[in-house]
Amino acid sequence: MKVSQQEIVAAARELFRNQGYAGASMQDLADRVGLKKASLYSRFPDKEALVGEVLQLTLDEIFATVDDAGGWRAAYEAILRSISGSLVERGRCVAFHLAYGASADAPRAMEAVRGFFTACRRRLAETLSTAVEPGEADRIAVDALSRIEGATLWLAIDGDGTAMQRTLDRLLAEADGLQGRRRVRAKPGNPGKTAGQPRRKHSRAAALPGRP
Amino acid sequence: MKVSQQEIVAAARELFRNQGYAGASMQDLADRVGLKKASLYSRFPDKEALVGEVLQLTLDEIFATVDDAGGWRAAYEAILRSISGSLVERGRCVAFHLAYGASADAPRAMEAVRGFFTACRRRLAETLSTAVEPGEADRIAVDALSRIEGATLWLAIDGDGTAMQRTLDRLLAEADGLQGRRRVRAKPGNPGKTAGQPRRKHSRAAALPGRP
DNA sequence: CCCAATAACTACCGAACGGTCGGATGTAAA
DNA sequence: TTTACATCCGACCGTTCGGTAGTTATTGGG
């Protein structure tokens, strides 16, 4: 194999992210990975099947660094930072672009997108359910995801990541306010970010990875 | 003229919204409005020019019903309701889809998208600047837009509008907390939605148009 | 009613699309 | 070295893409 499966999927992801489902072409993908188009079709049945692979890879990458050993708050922060960090790095969200673009004509792609966001939502809600009741946990998870995704608007338009940074700060600050206003912190020894009066005047929190 | 300019632009908007820039085809647009493809090119110079028209029409529709006579809070609410209402109705945001999809190969389209969101942002910030300082007004405007746009994620995935409803409620509740915690209300005589302790336990506010 | 102007049409262009096929090429065991 | 197998590739399919040229239909003013 001249090129590994993962390299192809990663290249496909970049295409889907920047061009959308309809705008990404198999020829373009073949050129990028240094193969011919026919060779791609001996690895993947069709274009639509690439969507599932792309989203599975992305899901794996997001949760690779997350473990629940440090408690719900640390896990929650790790997940949100992992997601928003990669979004700032790449400028757009593949899954969101596919959610918008893979319409009725690509039902398997749409199903993969649903699966991706459902997995993120479930994992977040599960993490939060240590601190709040399940219904509220799911609501917080849904809102957190949509707020992070929404912040990619300004990333896509003018590359501005400050809205994302602000969103992340607020989500974490709001998380500190959960569980009956108890004092919680992500890492012992981490300066600032107290939760005494957690809902106002949050201090400029730690920067996103790769964003000074 | 068999078909008015506005009908064509509205049909193009639907296509761009559901298929993205690359996925929307001139042939498809021609079929929908009952013209031949060549006729479209006698009205619009090219596909990219349609983007500007689509976003201008959308901008006009959004702000058609908004006036500043009732004070900043009423205007702010009117704008947010106008935007989120049309998003719930249509299930996606054209401008957001175009922001993601119209990439480097369509610079005029990208410029139009930037203009659209800049106009929304400016109008919102201008409205808010009656209550808070300009910098904070701009920040609130940016965040409000991105939160509303983000809520379209769940609309696109499974048609669920509850996240949008929740987002709208929170944005309005947070607006009530502005201007130094003064008591403000949108319309005198409107039941509920007080702002005495505005930042918690917001009551289920008025439904979006078309969402019982 | 005529004529000019506008609007819509038919027919076509080269390029790119997703996808397929049969043969060439590399590789590792026998 | 032969065999067997997976991989890759050149060439091609039918279709659709954005866009254009030249021609016909429609329409409003005189």
A 79-118 residues with CB below 8 A of B? 92, 96-97, 99-101, 103, 113-114, 117
Angstrom distance (rounded) from CA A110 to CA B92: 14
Angstrom distance (rounded) from CA B23 to CA A209: 34
Q: Which of A96, A145, A151 faces B146 most closely, judged by CB atoms?
A: A151
Distances (CA, A) of B94 to B11, B56, B194: 12, 12, 34
**Phi, psi torsion values for B29, nearest 5 degrees:** -60, -45
Contact B184, B160 (CB under 8 A): no
- Tokens encoding B204: 């289920």
**Nucleotides of strand C within 7 Å of the protein's CB atoms:** 7-12, 16-22
Residue with tokens 């928003």: A84
- For the stretch B174-190, pLDDT in tens is 999 987 655 444 444 44
Q: What is the ipTM of this complex?
A: 0.89
Task: Give the CATH number of domain B5-181.
Answer: 1.10.357.10
**Helix residue ranges, H only, chain A:** 5-23, 26-33, 37-40, 47-64, 72-90, 94-101, 107-128, 134-158, 162-176, 178-181
Across the interface, whether the CB atoms of B100 and A99 are under 8 A apart is answered: no
Q: Which of B23, B113, B166 faces A20 most closely, judged by CB atoms?
A: B23
Sites in chain B below the pLDDT cut of 70: 180-212
The secondary structure element, H or E, covering residue B202 is none
The CATH fold of domain A50-181? Tetracycline Repressor; domain 2 (1.10.357)
Contact A56, A177 (CB under 8 A): no
- For the stretch A104-154, pLDDT in tens is 889 999 999 999 999 999 999 999 999 999 999 999 999 999 999 999 999
Q: Per-domain residue ranges for chain B? A: 5-181
Which pLDDT value is given to residue A201?
36
- For the stretch A66-91, pLDDT in tens is 999 999 999 999 999 999 999 999 99
Contact A143, B163 (CB under 8 A): yes
Across the interface, whether the CB atoms of A103 and B18 are under 8 A apart is answered: yes
